[in-house]
C-alpha cells in the first residue's frame, strides 16, 4: 500500500514537473519542427533563464514574476545571437547553436558568480501562489502535496498561455512566413520575404520560451545550476516525439501543441516510474536517450512491410 501510494505521489509530482518543462518542449518544437533548424543554443538559454531568474530574486530581491520576464528577454537575446551567427556570418545552423550554447556557459557563471544559486529563504513564484491559498493543514493536506498542486496549477496556467500565444502567432502573416521558411526557403524569398529575418524571429521566440521554462524550473526546484540545461534539447525532443507517437501526426496545429505538453508529462511519468523501480538519477540521461530512440523508431517499425508474392504462389 505504501509502495503504491509513493508511486501515485511520484506520478503526481511528475505531472506537475512535466507541465513546467513542456514550455521548453514548445520552444524546441519551434526550431526543430517548424523552422527545421537544429538549434543547440537551447541548452544554454535554458540555464540562462534559470540563472537570470535566480540572481534577480536572490541578489536584487526582485519579484519572482518579474524575474522570469527578464529571464525570457535574456533567452530572446540568446536567440538573436544564434540568428546573427547563422544568417549574417553564414555559420551552419548546428554550429551557430553550439557556439551560443558554449558561450552561455561562461556567461551564466558570470551572471551567478558561482555554479549554483539556491533560492533559500527567498519568495518564489510557488511560495507566492501558495501564500494565496489556505494553509495545508487547514484543508487537511500534507504540505508537500499542496506544493505539488501549486506547481501543477502554475504549470497549467503557463502552458495554456503559451499554447494560446503560439497558436495566435503562427496564424499571423509573420508566423506563416516562419512556417513557410521551415518548409521551403527558396519559395519564401521568391514571395518577397526575408528568410534571414524569419529564422531570427523563430530563434528569438524559441529561446525566449526555453529561458522562460528554465526560469520556472528554477522557481519550482528552488535553485539554479549552471549545468541545468545539459540534455535539455533531448528532453524537449522526447516530449515532442512522444506526443507525436501518441496522437496521430495529421492533427490541427492547436492539437499538436497540446500533444507536446501531454508528451512532456508522459515523459516525466516514465522517468518517475522507472526511478521508483530502482534506477537512480544518474541513469536519467541514458534513459532519456532510450525513450527518444524508441519513440522515433515507432513509425519505422509500424510501416507496412511489402508482401512479396512470386509467380505460382498464392
Partner 1 sequence: MLQISNLYKTFNANTINEKQVLNGVNLQLTPGDFVTIIGGNGAGKSTMLNMIAGVHFPDEGSLVLDGIDITLLPEYVRAQYLGRVFQDPMMGTAADMEIEENLALAYRRGKKRGFRWGITKEEKELYVEKLKTLDLGLETRLTSKVGLLSGGQRQALTLLMATLQKPKLLLLDEHTAALDPKTAGKVLELTDQIIRANSLTALMVTHNMKNAIQYGNRLIMMHQGKIIYDVAGEEKKNLQVTDLLSKFEIASGEEFANDRMILS
Q: Does 180 bind partner 1 (CB under 8 A)?
A: yes
Q: How many CB atoms lie within 10 A of CB 301?
A: 7
- Asked whether the beta carbons of 71 and 210 are under 8 A apart, the reply is no
Q: Closer CB to partner 1, residue 125 or residue 241?
A: 241
Closest CA to 243 of 227, 230, 228, 255: 255
**Cα–Cα distance, 149 to 131 (Å, whole number):** 13
Quickly tell me which residue has 515507432 as its cell.
298
For partner 1, the binding residue among 2, 173, 311, 313 (CB under 8 A) is 173
Strand 116-118 with 223-225, pairing: antiparallel
Q: Does 176 bind partner 1 (CB under 8 A)?
A: yes
β-strand partners of 223 = 118
For partner 1, the binding residue among 9, 153, 174, 254 (CB under 8 A) is 174
Q: Closer CB to partner 1, residue 81 or residue 178?
A: 178
Part of the chain binding partner 1 (CB under 8 A), chosen from 119-127, 135-143, 175-183, 215-223: 175-183
Identify the three-state secondary structure at position 301.
helix
Q: Which residues have a Cβ under 8 Å from the Cβ of 274 and sit 6 or more positions away?
A: 283, 287
Q: Closer CB to partner 1, residue 127 or residue 197?
A: 197
For partner 1, the binding residue among 63, 106, 144, 172 (CB under 8 A) is 172
Q: Closer CB to partner 1, residue 146 or residue 180?
A: 180
Closest CA to 156 of 265, 272, 8, 306: 265
- 182-221 binders of partner 1 (CB under 8 A): 182-184, 186-195
Q: Which residues have a Cβ under 8 Å from the Cβ of 78 and sit 6 or more positions away?
A: 41, 44, 45, 48, 100, 104, 207, 211
Q: Does 24 bind partner 1 (CB under 8 A)?
A: no
| Count of chain residues binding partner 1 (CB under 8 A) | 22
**Cα–Cα distance, 94 to 39 (Å, whole number):** 6
Closest CA to 213 of 260, 158, 150: 158
Q: Closer CB to partner 1, residue 2 or residue 173?
A: 173
From the CB of 275, what's the least distance to partner 1, in Å? 38
From the CB of 171, what's the least distance to partner 1, in Å? 5
Q: Does 179 bind partner 1 (CB under 8 A)?
A: yes
For partner 1, the binding residue among 92, 113, 131, 171 (CB under 8 A) is 171
Cell numbers found for residue 222: 528552488
Q: Closer CB to partner 1, residue 116 or residue 183?
A: 183
Q: Closer CB to partner 1, residue 185 or residue 283?
A: 185
Give, to the nearest 10 degrees, the angle between helix 64-83 and helix 93-112. 140
Q: Does 309 bind partner 1 (CB under 8 A)?
A: no
Part of the chain binding partner 1 (CB under 8 A), chosen from 100-108, 132-140, 174-182, 214-222: 174-182
Chain centre distance of CA 244: 15
Q: Closer CB to partner 1, residue 36 or residue 276?
A: 36
Q: Which residues bind partner 1 (CB under 8 A)?
A: 171-177, 179-180, 182-184, 186-195
Amino acid at each position: 500500500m505504501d509502495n503504491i501510494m509513493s508511486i501515485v505521489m511520484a506520478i503526481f509530482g511528475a505531472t506537475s514537473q512535466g507541465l513546467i518543462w513542456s514550455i521548453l518542449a514548445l520552444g524546441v518544437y519551434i526550431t526543430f519542427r517548424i523552422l527545421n533548424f537544429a538549434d543547440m543554443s537551447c541548452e544554454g538559454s535554458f540555464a540562462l533563464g534559470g540563472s537570470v531568474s535566480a540572481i534577480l530574486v536572490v541578489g536584487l530581491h526582485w519579484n519572482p514574476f518579474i524575474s522570469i520576464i527578464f529571464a525570457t528577454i535574456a533567452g530572446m537575446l540568446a536567440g538573436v545571437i544564434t540568428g546573427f551567427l547563422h544568417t549574417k556570418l553564414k555559420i551552419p545552423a548546428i554550429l551557430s547553436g553550439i557556439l551560443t550554447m558554449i558561450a552561455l556557459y561562461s556567461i551564466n557563471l558570470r551572471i551567478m558568480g558561482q555554479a549554483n544559486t539556491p533560492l533559500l529563504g527567498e519568495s518564489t513564484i510557488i511560495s507566492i501562489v501558495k501564500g494565496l491559498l489556505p494553509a495545508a493543514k487547514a484543508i487537511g493536506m500534507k504540505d508537500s502535496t499542496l506544493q505539488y498542486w501549486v506547481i501543477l496549477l502554475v504549470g497549467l496556467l503557463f502552458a495554456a498561455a503559451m499554447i494560446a500565444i503560439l497558436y495566435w502567432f503562427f496564424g499571423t502573416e509573420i508566423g506563416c512566413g516562419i512556417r513557410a521558411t521551415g518548409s521551403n526557403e527558396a519559395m519564401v524569398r521568391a514571395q518577397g520575404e526575408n528568410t534571414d529575418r524569419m529564422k531570427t524571429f523563430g530563434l528569438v521566440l524559441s529561446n525566449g520560451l526555453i529561458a522562460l521554462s528554465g526560469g520556472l524550473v528554477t522557481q519550482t526546484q528552488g535553485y539554479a545550476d549552471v549545468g541545468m540545461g545539459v540534455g535539455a534539447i533531448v528532453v524537449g525532443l522526447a516530449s515532442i516525439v512522444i506526443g507525436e507517437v501518441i496522437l496521430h501526426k495529421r492533427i490541427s496545429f492547436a492539437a499538436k501543441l497540446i500533444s507536446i505538453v501531454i508528451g512532456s508529462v508522459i515523459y516525466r511519468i516514465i522517468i518517475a516510474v522507472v526511478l521508483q523501480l530502482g534506477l537512480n538519477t544518474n541513469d536519467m540521461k541514458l534513459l532519456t536517450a532510450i525513450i527518444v530512440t524508441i519513440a522515433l523508431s515507432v513509425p519505422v517499425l509500424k510501416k507496412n512491410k511489402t508482401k512479396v508474392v512470386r509467380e505460382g504462389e498464392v
